[in-house]
Amino acid sequence: MKVALARYRYSAYGGAERYMDTLSAALSDAGADVRILCATWDGSSAGKVAVERIAVPSRPVPLRILLFARGVMEWATDHPDWLLFSLERVPGAEVYRAGDGVHAEWLQRKRPLRPGSWPLDYLRPLNLVYLHLEQAMFGSPALRFVIANSNRGREEIVRRFGLPAETIRVVHNGIDVARFPLDRKADAGSRLRKRFGIPDGETVFLFVGSGFARKGVGTTARAARLLAERGCTAFRIVLVGKGDPSTYVRSAGPASGRLLFTGPVAGADDLFLGADAFLFPTVYEPFSNACLEAMAAGLPVVTTTVNGASEVLREGESGFLLEDPLDAAVLTDRMERLLSPDVRKRMGEQARRVAEAHSVERNTRETLEVLGQAWRVRSRAISVLPQPE
């Protein structure tokens, strides 16, 4: 089997990039020929598999995305004996992993965040490019299989693009639970509190994610204010990720001191181990790796039903699920329940069991099965083509 994997670049913070890094190494170990098609790549697999650069300008971003897709398509045309597996929206991909979700769905779901101005989103060049590539890719006759990381994602693709459901395989994200040894939790908790000046006895809620508006920092800030107004002040919320905190500090009002913005942090595993609970009230998320990391660290998770990770959580057992991402009052209720150490311990233990059942090995195995099937399908299709005389 010869597989070319397309992703624009490698980022130490990106779940999709780490996924592809692990997968490319597993494919190579299984005896497949593997190439990574990218603009830049410095993942751990770079020394193990061949990396081919697709040269594109870094700015403007919409042009970069278009040219990268075109470059990958040209490479695939020149290498017809390779199976093209893309993690980007590339028309002509034979297998596509919809790890970034459906852009058209995201534009619809973000409307409550931009009341009155959301129609402008459909005129922005970047969104126009994404919508064009998405439509062209899902409509391409070359597309054999789609890997969705949630049942919700599969439903969105079927509903919006009319793909047969049987061509869309659901493979939930996986996690290496060995990254989160539970016997380190006490030490990690002490380091976290010392690092941010959090007294013992205060519950530490953790949020990890860039793109604050989409991932629910607004709702989190309002919930912090409501929780403080109820007289509950023995808590802090550590927010890790890239974003401007000013709007959310204002939303929290008198409780703004309960919010600690750290900026991006490479290797946040110690923060997961040191925290008490995880908050992720996202407006739209195909499947949050951060939620899976929190569960692996033994944290109860509060997220929304529009997050694909909600499919592996059990309400009231390993976490809490919010129907409305903007309902700060409901989030406040759940946070108040998690101020109890006994509740956190019980739910955290269940969350860890969920993570153990969703290993990265399982994810890789199921992905390889889809790629193997796609390879067999393309091989049969090639074998019935007329041969030149």
Question: What is the DSSP track for 261-282?
Answer: EEE--S-THHHHHH-SEEEE--
C-alpha–C-alpha distance, residues 372 and 47, integer Å: 24
Helix or strand or coil: residue 212?
Answer: helix
Q: Tell the CATH superfamily of the 177-356 domain.
A: Glycogen Phosphorylase B; (3.40.50.2000)
Helices (H) and strands (E) in the chain, counts: 14, 13
C-alpha–C-alpha distance, residues 251 and 219, integer Å: 9
Task: Tell which CATH classification among 3.40.50.2000, 3.40.50.620, 3.30.465.10, 3.20.20.70 matches the domain 2-174+359-383.
Answer: 3.40.50.2000
Alpha-carbon torsion angle 28, 32, 35, 36, nearest 10: -60
C-alpha–C-alpha distance, residues 46 and 24, integer Å: 9
Q: Which of 98, 121, 97, 89 is nearest to 108 (CA)?
A: 121
DSSP label at 298?
T
Predicted pLDDT of residue 385: 47
In this structure, is the dihedral angle defined by the CA atoms of residues 161, 162, 167 and 170, taken in order, positive or negative? Answer: positive
Q: Which of 355, 372, 373, 375 is nearest to 172 (CA)?
A: 355
| Residue ranges of the chain assigned to CATH 3.40.50.2000 | 2-174+359-383, 177-356
Predicted pLDDT of residue 22: 80
Please state the pTM of the whole predicted model.
0.90
Predicted pLDDT of residue 380: 77
Predicted pLDDT of residue 44: 65
C-alpha–C-alpha distance, residues 247 and 151, integer Å: 34
Predicted pLDDT of residue 321: 97
Q: What is the pLDDT along the chain (389 residues), one digit of tens a residue?
A: 999 999 988 665 566 667 777 888 888 888 889 998 998 877 666 567 888 999 998 889 999 999 999 999 999 999 999 999 999 999 999 999 999 899 999 999 999 888 888 888 888 999 999 999 999 999 999 999 999 999 999 999 999 999 999 999 999 999 999 999 999 999 999 999 999 999 999 999 999 998 899 999 999 999 999 999 999 999 999 999 999 999 999 999 999 999 999 998 876 899 999 999 999 999 999 999 999 999 999 999 999 999 999 999 999 999 999 999 999 999 999 999 999 999 999 999 999 999 999 999 999 999 999 999 999 998 877 654 454 45
DSSP label at 60?
S
Alpha-carbon torsion angle 37, 9, 125, 217, nearest 10: 140
Q: Which of 12, 14, 19 is nearest to 361 (CA)?
A: 19
Would you state the structure tokens that stand for residue 339, as one six-digit string? Answer: 């101020």
Predicted pLDDT of residue 20: 77
